[in-house]
Amino acid sequence: MPSYEYVKCTDLKQVFDLLSSREQAYPLAGGTDLMVGMRGGKFAAHLLVDLKDLEELKVLREDEKGITVGAAVTLNEIAAYEPILKNIPILAQGAHSVGSYSIRNRGTLAGNICNASPAADTAAPLYCLGASIVIAGTGGQRTVPVEEFFTGPGKTDLNKGELVHSVMVPKPYPQGIGVYIKASRTGSVDLATVGVAVQRWGDKVKIAVGAVAPTPVRALAVEEAVNEKGEKDWARAAKLVHDSISPITDLRGSRDYRYHIAEVLIRRGLEQTMGV
């Protein structure tokens, strides 16, 4: 792995100054994706900006607006946080699906979405929860809906000098069961071949799918059939996911296999959340 410079930052101003003024500078929180990417040549980092000890980014709280997850909060902390388990357990399920226990002990929610893999386990649950991404930089803060944060495989709405400050899941919370279901080659430690989040909202449902398009996507045709047309045949509704996805063939599965698995997982998710 090529050599690089490392700076442990003491405040966000220092972080922003370094990220905006230096070429190939990367923020480091958990580093579980970044370090692997550097070893594999995906990232050519000249500078690592360590921000994992900044208290402002370690915030995990619930208030009148909802639940805020700071950029340095680990996936294991998310999966064990009582307000998340009580109100939005689908996010805990997604966090728990990422890698092994040791990876989740370092990896962060911000890192999982900033890597911008279409297969990110936390992305589909965040889509179903209507989450927002708080982005910070030298120009201040801005907030974008999670569905606008991903712009392509490995690409996000972040500009040079910016980082994800926190992720916000707003109130009101969903009224109903939510599930995240993942199919992969070797169990939960592997990237998803297909990942499906199904969240009930009263008598409505939101569905998001990962690893079947350049970014995670909502299964809008399925949602319309269930929410607007009253479809109760979950298998028939699930087939409509084909209208929303464009999977590819890679080492984790073929295009046709992904179409099939997306359909199967959505049917199962509807059965679990909306009733058999």
pLDDT in the model for residue 3: 82
- The amino acid present at 23, given as its one-letter code, is E
**Residue 182 above 70 pLDDT?**
yes
pLDDT in the model for residue 242: 97
Residue 260 CB partners (closer than 8 Å, separation 6+) = none
Q: What is the pTM of this model?
A: 0.94
pLDDT in the model for residue 276: 58
Instruction: Give the residue among 64, 51, 66, 49 at the shortest CA–CA distance from 167.
Output: 66
Q: What percent of the chain has pLDDT over 70?
A: 99
Higher pLDDT, 101 or 93: 93
- The amino acid present at 51, given as its one-letter code, is L
Residue 206 contacts residue 102 (beta carbons within 8 Å): no
**Residue 68 above 80 pLDDT?**
yes
**Residue 143 above 80 pLDDT?**
yes
pLDDT in the model for residue 216: 98
The kind and range of the H/E element at 194 are strand 194-201
pLDDT in the model for residue 26: 87
pLDDT in the model for residue 1: 67
pLDDT, mean of residues 167-185:
96
Range with lowest mean pLDDT among 59-68, 126-135, 180-189: 180-189
Q: Using CA atoms, how far apart are residues 250 and 269, in angstroms rounded to an integer?
A: 25
Between the CA of residue 39 and those of 43, 45, 151, what are the distances in Å?
8, 10, 25
pLDDT, mean of residues 76-94:
98
What pLDDT band is residue 36 in, cutting at 50, 70 and 90? Answer: confident
What pLDDT band is residue 98 in, cutting at 50, 70 and 90? Answer: very high
What pLDDT band is residue 45 in, cutting at 50, 70 and 90? Answer: confident
Render the burial of 36-46: b for 16+ CB within 10 Å, e for the rest: ebbeeeebebe
Q: How many residues does the chain have?
A: 276
What pLDDT band is residue 46 in, cutting at 50, 70 and 90? Answer: confident
Q: Using CA atoms, how far apart are residues 181 and 90, in angstroms rounded to an integer?
A: 10
Instruction: Report residue 97 as tokens.
Output: 């699906």
Instruction: Give the residue among 240, 103, 96, 251 at the shortest CA–CA distance from 179.
Output: 96
- 241 exposed, middle or buried (CB, 10 Å; 0-12, 13-18, 19+)? buried
